[in-house]
Structure 1
């Protein structure tokens, strides 16, 4: 939207100016991603702009299917049919892959949780919901969902005070606003001091309290089973000094402008989301536990069964990408058992 629409009433013009005016990043991102005409309502879906582990290899869905069957075996006798809940389901790619990888006789209730409309041609066994179903038992899996829960950004001003970063939706220009405690309240100020303390002028942080609360609500919908969050993330001993807010469009990283033209994302302070008793490990370790190792097949197989060797070699290459320490393998997995 580059020019003000004509022929509108005063209230509509006021709303348009408010949308284009100065706001915190959380509010601006919410509108840009999920508002009318927002980025996540575009027909090509997320896969048209960035590649996740789901798109990298079918081995990822197979590993999640294995995790689902393991979780189902641990459920109490009265749990009923195991559920697989895919939070931030995109266009249903992971759900489709998991259902295809499960044993034919494995009973499952599949749910896709997504704010966008149900994709055409999706497996009829999948129930499509805007919110997670309440009270089911099984595996709840959120792959690269929390990074798209909008957050505000803070920056230390020259006076040493962390202030809210305000952004103009039209062009992505930024300015410093009021101190965080005044602009957002004590809860966000306390989160910042506890989980991402800022000291030097110019240091920035993404205030992750909304993500903590979103994860607590979502994991809390499970009656029994396992809730897993997977994301590119950091912990308190490795926070990026200048934050990680960025944009993606058509497979390329771009300057984040909250006008609906690009994805807007930031790494997740995943340790802040984790209640006591949870486990936080890398994707490399998690997938290796689930049988995805990336080891090359023995050369002897090339002589005895060349076709099988080529197939195994291809699988090893895909597994290596999923588990590469400097790439997808560096993602963090949060395991939360329920109850």
Structure 2
């Protein structure tokens, strides 16, 4: 999985349209998502006391779409203080706003907002499966044919994590590498907020058959790890939350976005009579908002955040 996604010819490194050409995230769905994160950044900035500079770090930045949209929306008083940083393994896209710093690793000293939107689901993991004797063994996949076989038994690190976070038989996606990745990312924030937005599950709702799948050109495909498609699996969000060793809050995207002013409400019909053009614009925005908060779609994503040296929790209530 690591080689297929991040190797020299991996899916996220290849010179193509980037993730947006293969699957749809909240970032790609509507600029309303960037606007909501901008309001969150404003609350973080207020909680920090409006420092001389405030970091805005996007982990798993794709081709810089989120930061580009947010920079275009920055209000006066914040625009000159924001330091946008994109963290991505792919080369810097041509024509990207020069204000955006582009790097492969997460900065070590962040004061502001760190965002990871659908990043943890692509942190490489192993999959284990219960064999006919009830033993958990690692699933091996032929990178050319996609044929699966069972290999060695789950190792000690896997079993330690499984006992606490995903007990029982079945097909299991071992989440401790993601726990470590998120702990490192959140640990880079000295003051501010670390936010993970991703699809996932909690201990009492783990899927018996797992969630590992692939995406290519907008279609779900067999997750063959040959670099030609995205290989992804849902995140054990409760495990990642605990691993950071920090106080945390965890809510659905639907609830979080409503707290940030996105409700999907249709505009009043009276507006159609008084200002038809404005009504159509408002109706389109309502449709985009509805997609972002759909409880059976993007609205079901988890928002996991840690507040480090600040308090915004009271401002995140709808």
Q: Aligned equivalents of 1:190 and 1:134: distance in 2?
A: 29
Q: Following TM superposition, by how much is the alpha carbon of 1:136 offset from its aligned partner in structure 2, in angstroms?
A: 2.1
Alignment pair present for 1:242 and 2:242: no
Q: Following TM superposition, by how much is the alpha carbon of 1:133 offset from its aligned partner in structure 2, in angstroms?
A: 1.1
Which runs of 5 or more residues in structure 2 are unaligned?
A: 310-318
Q: Following TM superposition, by how much is the alpha carbon of 1:76 offset from its aligned partner in structure 2, in angstroms?
A: 5.2
Is the Cα–Cα contact under 8 Å of residues 80 and 137 in structure 1 kept in the other structure?
Answer: no
Q: Following TM superposition, by how much is the alpha carbon of 1:115 offset from its aligned partner in structure 2, in angstroms?
A: 0.7
Over aligned residue pairs, what C-alpha RMSD do you find?
1.1
Partner of 1:157: 131
TM-score by length of 2: 0.93
Q: Aligned equivalents of 1:158 and 1:331: distance in 2?
A: 35
Q: Aligned equivalents of 1:112 and 1:208: distance in 2?
A: 25
Q: Aligned equivalents of 1:157 and 1:197: distance in 2?
A: 15
Is the Cα–Cα contact under 8 Å of residues 162 and 198 in structure 1 kept in the other structure?
Answer: no
Q: Following TM superposition, by how much is the alpha carbon of 1:237 offset from its aligned partner in structure 2, in angstroms?
A: 1.1
Match of 1:171 among 121, 128, 145: 145
Alignment pair present for 1:193 and 2:193: no
Q: How does 1:1-339 map to 2 (within 5 A)?
A: 29-43=1-15, 44-75=17-48, 80-106=52-78, 107-181=81-155, 186-199=156-169, 203-275=170-242, 277-339=247-309
1:22-68 CA-partner distances (Å, limit 9, x unpaired): xxxxxxx1111111111112222111111111111010000011110
> Deviation above 6 Å: which 4+ runs of structure 1?
none
Q: Aligned equivalents of 2:158 and 2:30: distance in 1?
A: 38
Paired residue secondary structure (1:84):
strand
Q: Figure out how many residues of one structure are paired with residues of the other and give that number.
A: 303
Q: Following TM superposition, by how much is the alpha carbon of 1:309 offset from its aligned partner in structure 2, in angstroms?
A: 0.9
Q: Aligned equivalents of 1:161 and 1:37: distance in 2?
A: 35
Q: Following TM superposition, by how much is the alpha carbon of 1:85 offset from its aligned partner in structure 2, in angstroms?
A: 0.2
Q: Following TM superposition, by how much is the alpha carbon of 1:75 offset from its aligned partner in structure 2, in angstroms?
A: 1.1
Paired residue secondary structure (2:203):
coil
Q: Aligned equivalents of 2:7 and 2:247: distance in 1?
A: 36
Q: Following TM superposition, by how much is the alpha carbon of 1:175 offset from its aligned partner in structure 2, in angstroms?
A: 0.8
1:149-197 CA-partner distances (Å, limit 9, x unpaired): 000001011111111111111111111112102xxxx222110111011
Q: Aligned equivalents of 1:158 and 1:80: distance in 2?
A: 61
Which runs of 5 or more residues in structure 1 are unaligned?
A: 1-28
Q: Following TM superposition, by how much is the alpha carbon of 1:302 offset from its aligned partner in structure 2, in angstroms?
A: 1.1
